[in-house]
Structure 1
Amino acid sequence: MRRDQTPGSDGTGVRLRVLTYNIHGQRDDRTALAAVVRELAPDVAILQEAPRRFRWRHKCAALADAFGMVVGAGGLPGLGNLLLTSLRVSVTDSWVIRYPLTPGRHLRGAVFARCAVGPVRFVLAGSHLATDAGERPAQARALREACRALDQPVILGVDVNETPAPGDDGGDAGAEPPGGSAWATVCDGLTDAVVAADRPDAATFPCADPRRRLDAIFVDPSVEVLDYQVVDTPMTRRASDHFPVVADLSLAVNGGSALAAESGSARGLDKRGG
């Protein structure tokens, strides 16, 4: 899957290649990891399990350099969620949210960055939900509300740590473990890239025996999904315990957030008792 810089299907959109990737704390083959990302050549990379502790700034910068990219946001403030960009993308603002902490568990959250490619504006976001099924629903609700508050189209990469529920769009009735509510909550109002691209519902984890689609790219409904792929190669099987997920998107010039508009309309109906 190589990047194509041609316009979207209507000829007016700006194309963007998005990668979401749980890099397993760089505990696998780092040379393979760098080669995978450089070969995919994303415009933006949304990483989970990136450096977040001692010398995290240096480690995040070194990781970005190995990928041929630059740091956009995240690291320690993003609680291991890291956003990288190519030089084609500019970052104008960034912030993080933190999920409620369950005693004895990891503190988790999400990272956001306002980005621009020429005249196109969008918000890039990344998160990694808990392995504990009891924690995920509240985290998913917090992430959904943060996305609904945005006034620009969001592109969200997430390790949901659960599969879509059987019967949901993109869900696999035979997936393990059975899907929970967090996936549907995060996806509510957004577009699941695999569904929009009409691609096979491929598992993303574990690389040694792929059985679960834990990783996803969700986008604002105003964003056109041109292509989607879970990249399963000998190199990606050495690079991490998750496969990288890539989507080619087309973003409209001066496009607003359809999700925010929909949410605002719903809130208006609620206030009127509709």
Structure 2
Amino acid sequence: MTHPGVPLRVLSYNVHGQRDDTAALAEVVRGVSPDVVIVQEGPRRFRWRTKSATLAASFGLVVAAGGLPSLGNLLLTSLRVRVTGTRCRRFPLTPGRHLRGAAYADCVVDAAARFTVAGSHLSTDPAERPGQAELFKRDLEAAAHPVIAAADLNEEPGAAAWTVVARRLTDAAVAADRADRLTYSCADPRRRIDALFVDPRITVVDYDVLDTPLTRRASDHFPVLVDLRLPTDA
């Protein structure tokens, strides 16, 4: 089937702070040739700019946005994608908890289709997640272009934060009839907590959770790979 619009391949990946097999991680990403990679648990501390650039280079990509200002959420792009604006958010800190945030980039691909890509990683605390989800959702709804949003939500479909983020967006896994594909953990897959949502104007062509010997070495989360078609009139 031929799908209208501009093709875009997006990978969402919680890289576990690069604490696992980094050679396998680079091989996984390079092997699928994404246009955009939305990273959770990327560099966020000492020398984070250099570390982010090194990670991007290992993937054959460049840094678009994120890092320390978004607390480890990192947006990477191929040279096919032009970035026209970026911003980051930090969610309010609950004493005794980890800081969380989000990264955003406005982009143009092939000089034809505009989109806003966003990435976040919500708290493991169920009391914190809905408030963080509301802030993330507020930013998504304010985006100037059709949204592609990926996150480690730390909860499954139907839970409070997931429901907030998913509102008026398309869950790529559901659109591709692959919502049974689990993303966590690689050692014992039991949950789908890594999600990718798109504006309804964007067509989901294909969706996969990459479960291979390489991905099981590269991180504790499986990567989510989605092929999209973007509208050219948005």
Question: Shorter-normalised TM-score: what interval?
Answer: over 0.9
| Conservation of the 8 A alpha-carbon contact between 2:3 and 2:229 | no
Q: Output the CA distance in 2 between the equivalents of 1:25 and 1:97.
A: 19
Larger Rg belongs to: 1
- Find 1:231's aligned residue among 210, 213, 223: 210
Structure 1, gaps ≥5 residues long: 1-7, 166-179, 256-274
Distance 2:179 2:135 in 1: 29
Q: Deviations over 1:112-132 (max 9, x none)?
A: 000001211000100000000
Deviations 1:227-261 (A, max 9, x none): 00000000000000000001000001022xxxxxx
Deviation at 1:200, TM superposition (A): 4.5
Q: Return the offset for 1:97.
A: 1.6
The structure in which a higher percent of residues are strand is 2
Query: For the residues of structure 1 that align with 2:20 and 2:90, how far apart are their CA atoms?
Result: 28
**1:154 and 2:147 equivalent?**
yes
| Structure 2, unpaired ranges of 5+ | none
- Map 1:160-179; keep pairs closer than 5 Å: 160-165=153-158
TM-score normalised by the chain length of structure 2: 0.97
SS of alignment partner, residue 147 of structure 1: helix
CA-to-aligned-CA distance 1:14-68 (integer Å, 9 cap, x gap): 0000000000000000000000000011100000000000000000000000000
Aligned residues: 233
User: Which stretches of structure 1, 4 residues or longer, exceed 2 Å deviation after superposition?
Assistant: 8-11
Cα displacement (A) at 1:10 = 4.0
Once the two structures are superposed, the pairs formed by residues 172-251 of structure 1 within 5 Å of their partners are 180-251=159-230
With normalisation by structure 1, the TM-score equals 0.83
The residue identity in structure 2 corresponding to 1:114 is D
The answer to whether the aligner puts 1:76 opposite 2:68 as a matched pair is yes
Match of 1:58 among 28, 50, 64: 50
Q: Give the superposition deviation at 1:92.
A: 0.9
Mapped to 2, the partners of 1:35 and 1:232 lie a distance apart of 14
Q: What secondary structure, in the 3-state scheme, does the structure 2 residue paired with 1:141 have?
A: helix
Aligned equivalent of 1:32, options 24, 35, 59? 24
- The alignment yields a C-alpha RMSD, in angstroms, of 1.0
- Once residues 131 and 24 of structure 2 are traced to their aligned partners in structure 1, the CA distance between those partners, rounded to angstroms, is 35
SS in 2 for 1:77: helix
